[in-house]
Amino acid sequence: MMTKLSSLDELYDAKAAIEQLKSTEPKLHEKLIHVVSLTRQLQIQYHYMGCLLMDDDPCNHTPTYVKSSVLELYHEEIERLKQDSDFAYVQQLFINHQKVGYPKISLLVLGAKPEKIKGSTIIK
């Protein structure tokens, strides 16, 4: 696991990009909130979610404690988001703010304030 040290400016930039997505693509933004919230509710690592969304190898982030039937439903929700015709905006958000990392972007999507997640907090 790699810990991301994000500057406050990077977090504010990512937050602004999320707000831009919210104003220009509100339905897509709601779908993203749904997937991030589901990830949190199921206690799945945000890094795993990010890897699935970006078609990266989730390697050692794959949850081992979640029933396979529940994980299948989770994957269906991920795919539903990825099938959105405007999904490229979500991908661009994660690409442009790669240094911030999947976990902190996820917390920003859920409404966390940049000041609260700045620093060396370890979030998977």
Structure tokens at 113: 């304030």
> Has this prediction a pTM greater than 0.85?
yes
What would the pLDDT profile of 31-85 be if each residue is shown by its tens digit?
A: 999 999 999 999 999 999 999 999 998 877 889 889 999 999 999 999 999 999 9
Share of the chain above pLDDT 70, in %: 90
Tokens read off for 13: 């930039």
Banded model confidence at residue 118, pLDDT cuts 50, 70, 90:
confident
Question: % helix / strand / coil in the chain, to the nearest 5?
Answer: 65, 0, 35
Comparison of pLDDT for 119 and 25, the residue scoring more: 25
